[in-house]
Structure 1
Amino acid sequence: MEYLANLVMTVAGDVWTTIVHNWPYLLLSVLVASLVQVYLKPDQLSAWLRRRTWVAVLAAVALGALTPFCSCGTTAVVLGALASAVPWAPIVAFMASSPLTSPEEFVLSVGLFGPSFAITFFVAAIAVGLLGGAAAWWLEGHGHLDGQSRMPAPTQGGAQGCCPEAEAPRAQGSGGVRTLTVVQPQAPTVTRAARLRLLVTALWQNTRKLAVYFLAFAAIGYLLIRIIPTGAITGLLGDGNPVWSVPLAAVLGIPVYLNSDGSLPLVASFMNGGMSPGAAIAFLITGAGTSIGSISGMLVIARWRVVALIVATLFVTAITTGWLSVLWL
């Protein structure tokens, strides 16, 4: 009983130390996420994907890396792109890079791991999108991605909206002559006060979510560090095993990773226990891109050939980045 009490106190002290050192980054990450959610909308940003292929791929990578969309947000943007008959290259680029990083995650990574690690992970997220987009462009050009969309092809003249009554024809008449007038929907005007209320709501929701995940997973990570012998972590995922630690961490990222709010402090605690930076980056890349939410979002949009392309791109980038990062981390 005394051992358990000491263990709880030790873990609580480790978590508190992490909060003390990272609270400015936590607050800044919440602020950035809330501002982007309120002032940048998926329907506005999806227009970036309606360009020439190479421009669309670059725009999709930037959109994926610079926006805080979760799997649902990613699905919404890509569904809008598919409805506009966008080719697979920008869609794959966006789907591969979007779950990996975002502005608030970059800020949080700087606080937890340092700027070198955060920049490496951010650049890797961009590389994933570019590599996936290039591979999709080549495969689509050779007909290997035909029939991979789960969405019906858009009908001629545009797809029907989700609210049929918004564009329903209305009959008018005068003197026995009847004409049809199409009533076009008008976008609602959001006042400054309403947008401010949305920002306050987003701040509260993001703060609550980040606090729950950060505290819970930081505690789990430090608990595992205190229970598992340091030699076991160092031997499997440490610098002493550079060849196999990175691929092993990439594989472990699939079942262990949940989301960035929880997994970033979890990996930080693992690194304090001896996990190498290369293994940590590989874990985060594959974990973010192949989490249950990400795979579910992919399968709503695309069939297995596209999903396999994205997963393979993530693994190649994760292992390559993990092996090369030993040169500067």
Structure 2
Amino acid sequence: MSFAESIMAAFYGITLGSWYIFAEAAPYLLLGFGIAGLLHVFVPDDKIMQYLGRSAGKLRSVINASLLGVPLPLCSCGVVPTALSLRKRGATKGATLSFLISTPQTGVDSIAITYALLDPIMTVFRPVATFATAVVAGTAENILNIPKDGRDAPSGKGTPLNVLAMSSATGSCGCSSCGCHENEDVDESGSLVRRIRSGVRYAYIELLGDIGSWLIVGVIVAGIISYLVPADLVGSYLGGGITSMLLALVVGIPLYICATASTPLAAVLILKGMSPGAAFVFLLAGPATNAATITMVLKFLGKRTTAVYLSSIALCAVVCGLILDQIYLRLGIDALSIAGSASEIMPDEVKNIFAVILIPLLLYGMYTKKKCAE
């Protein structure tokens, strides 16, 4: 194969990998934006401040956000717009981070498939460990990253979310008085249709325009990583022990895989001889992060918050993995007997349809944002 052919093959592989990741994320992204829109029109700002803001306290706001995120079936990409919406509306950085971690790691769908493919131990342990990880990260963020002015308001020089931070309260579109967006304050006494229209515009134009370019960059980076990492790497080198857990952590953090899709893979890896603890590290770290999410967290929440985000997930994943191995060991349960396999929950055709729907929304949101900024 010539150099030109190698380049073309790599380009094709990366493009295919990026599209696969985009298609995998598309249904959950659309759902995530939809939830953000519902929160925007149906959840008053004072409630956000009461339960997730500074008035709730550094610990209680984190616990509330962690509990809220555990049952929601959103992936690590789909949770971003919802989390950033909460942040814009007054949630503390710690609560935002807790929600950003607890939501993609597990959900009602992944809990069900965990019970089907693994066993009751993993089914109970997974949401408990997810909640603990989210609380640790959120508490660490609220304690370590205290703003210089003593306030925890959405901020960040040059950040699009900062420009739109109080749009729901001021009626602005995020670019002074440009008048790009027609939506004004959410009128809680207005008609249901009008409020839904406001939420749809907020979710699928404003928020989508905010993170669109960074989402594209992150998906491409994730596609490059997916192309470069051999398909059999995880199964070949994760035999058990702390080394396997660290390797599972390194592989899981940058790769995109949702909580539901990761469960059959973990079951197969356990069947091949991986310890349940090492498999759990992948189950926790894989859905919680990926290149796209890390890119957006870095841009919109800052370097220090990103450091807390990644270090908390890494530390808690390994500690929980070690604890889980000890639980199986003490109970005398053979992990090989619990693994199974399952087919994809959502057909590829459906994912591709959602991806095709998302593309024009993404482009229009980015165009509207650019036009608004001019």
Shared fold, TM over 0.5: yes
CA distance in 2: counterparts of 1:301 and 1:155, whole angstroms? 15
CA distance in 2: counterparts of 1:246 and 1:292, whole angstroms? 20
Contact 1:145 1:306 in 2 (8 A): no
Partner of 1:8: none
Contact 1:100 1:125 in 2 (8 A): yes
Partner of 2:75: 70
Partner of 2:171: 160
Paired residue type of 1:270: L
Asked if 1:91 corresponds to 2:61, the answer is: no
Partner of 2:248: 249
Partner of 2:204: none
Question: What CA RMSD, in Å, does the superposition of the two structures yield over aligned residues?
Answer: 3.7
Contact 2:104 2:259 in 1 (8 A): no
CA distance in 2: counterparts of 1:157 and 1:252, whole angstroms? 39
CA distance in 2: counterparts of 1:296 and 1:135, whole angstroms? 21
**Counterpart selection for 1:114 from 119, 139, 156:** 119
Partner of 2:209: none
Cα separation, partners in 2 of 1:318 and 1:84, compared to 1, 3 Å: same
**Counterpart selection for 1:49 from 49, 52, 55:** 52
Structure 1: segments with no counterpart, 5+ residues: 1-33, 169-181, 192-223
Alpha-carbon deviation of 1:58? 1.3
Asked if 1:290 corresponds to 2:300, the answer is: no
CA distance in 2: counterparts of 1:238 and 1:289, whole angstroms? 22
Alpha-carbon deviation of 1:186? 3.5
CA distance in 1: counterparts of 2:89 and 2:104, whole angstroms? 22
Contact 1:254 1:290 in 2 (8 A): yes
CA distance in 1: counterparts of 2:308 and 2:190, whole angstroms? 39
Alpha-carbon deviation of 1:308? 1.6
Instruction: Give the TM-score of the pair, scaled to structure 1.
Output: 0.62
Contact 1:254 1:291 in 2 (8 A): yes
CA distance in 1: counterparts of 2:63 and 2:87, whole angstroms? 17
Structure 2: segments with no counterpart, 5+ residues: 1-30, 174-179, 197-230, 329-374
CA distance in 2: counterparts of 1:80 and 1:142, whole angstroms? 20
- 2:192 is paired with a residue whose SS is coil
- 1:152 is paired with a residue whose SS is helix
Instruction: Give the TM-score of the pair, scaled to structure 2.
Output: 0.55
Percent of residue pairs identical: 25
Alpha-carbon deviation of 1:305? 1.8
Contact 1:257 1:284 in 2 (8 A): no
Contact 2:245 2:278 in 1 (8 A): yes
CA distance in 2: counterparts of 1:185 and 1:87, whole angstroms? 29
- 1:165 is paired with a residue whose SS is coil
Partner of 2:8: none
CA distance in 1: counterparts of 2:146 and 2:191, whole angstroms? 39
Partner of 1:238: 239
Paired residue type of 1:238: G
Cα separation, partners in 2 of 1:300 and 1:318, compared to 1, 3 Å: same
Paired residue type of 1:289: A
Partner of 1:127: 132
Cα separation, partners in 2 of 1:74 and 1:292, compared to 1, 3 Å: same
Paired residue type of 1:284: L
Partner of 1:262: 261
CA distance in 2: counterparts of 1:251 and 1:183, whole angstroms? 46
Cα separation, partners in 2 of 1:82 and 1:256, compared to 1, 3 Å: closer
Contact 2:61 2:92 in 1 (8 A): no
Cα separation, partners in 2 of 1:189 and 1:314, compared to 1, 3 Å: same
Partner of 1:304: 303
Alpha-carbon deviation of 1:165? 3.4
Contact 1:257 1:291 in 2 (8 A): yes
Q: Which stretch shifts more, 92-101 or 310-319?
A: 92-101
**Number of residues paired by the alignment?**
240
Return the index of the structure with the highest Cα Rg.
1
- 1:69 is paired with a residue whose SS is coil
Deviations 1:228-263 (A, max 9, x none): 9xxx84xx4234xx2312112111213555223332
